Amino acid sequence: MPGAAHTGVESGVGLTALMIAAARAIETNRPDALAADAYAAHFVRAARASAAWPVHPAEVPDGDANPLWGRLGRYIGLRTRVLDDFLIHSARAGARQVVLLGAGLDTRAFRLDWPPGQVVYEIDRDGVLAFKSRVLNGLAAAPMATRRPIAADLGGDWAPSLVNAGFDAAAPTAWLAEGLLLYLPPAAERCLIDTVDHLSAGGSTLAFEVKLGVESPEVRASPVYVAANEQIGVDLLALFDGEPRPDSAGDLRERGWSTAIHTPFDFTRRHGRGPLPEPNDALASNRWVFANKPGPGVAPTLSG
């Protein structure tokens, strides 16, 4: 499959899924790795657009000084670990359903140690899921939970597809929107939060990533953004939706959820590795939000 074209991941937001896979592959091969994804490198090598990208620290020009694969890559590794922990904590506290919103090339159904009876729903566009399935099937990969991919547009009405796949709105659920909301128009984000709330029984949890406000011209000129565009042709600033963002954490609180909002640097300090603040920082406005809906089986909120 290397060098083959797969339109679901070869351009636009789909290309960011390959970027994240490459960062996870590099993280996996670090001696002090925060997360391990044995499948990530296979996705990178299977697509024409990314076949020559690095998948090991030794392949990264300038090593950790590289803004893309060093700083942003370490950020993605840290985010992967933190959200792995969030999902496993939620599952062990009673959320036997996990819904990955904008699942991309996420392999948590295959690589995490799930409790018995866990179901993982993966929602994304058909082309992304088809590419992912081809690669994983070629590796004879076996999931560690019941995995149910769902082809749907998260900017539209995706709830019926989820319910038709067996989702039980009366059972606690762990929801994850990793990097998704950055790309959605505000109206779609509000609709997604409304749908998650409507489908969430007491004891459900949700984690998602947001950016605060509009970044300054100096931040938009950050080496992270420049390197992503120059090295792999991913113009993150063009892909991010530029409209004012809704206060989704505040909206959830008004609906009765409890929320905790953290900077990525909170977890850098907790784990002893990862990015730290720097001048005109492309990561400074990123926030990771963890929310619990009151009820039996609420997972503990992660703290920094």
**Domain-by-domain residue ranges, the chain?**
12-292
- Tokens in use for 126? 């058909």
2 pLDDT higher than 70: no
301 pLDDT higher than 60: no
- Which is it for strands 146-151 and 119-124: parallel, antiparallel or unpaired? parallel
Give the architecture-level CATH label for domain 12-292.
3-Layer(aba) Sandwich (3.40)
Q: Which of the listed ranges 3-17, 97-111, 230-244 does the model predict with the highest average pLDDT?
A: 97-111
d(CA 18, CA 53): 10
At 296 the pLDDT is: 66
302 pLDDT higher than 60: no
273 pLDDT higher than 50: yes
- Tokens in use for 7? 């339109």
The stretch 279-286 carries a mean pLDDT of: 95
The stretch 98-123 carries a mean pLDDT of: 98
SS3 22: helix
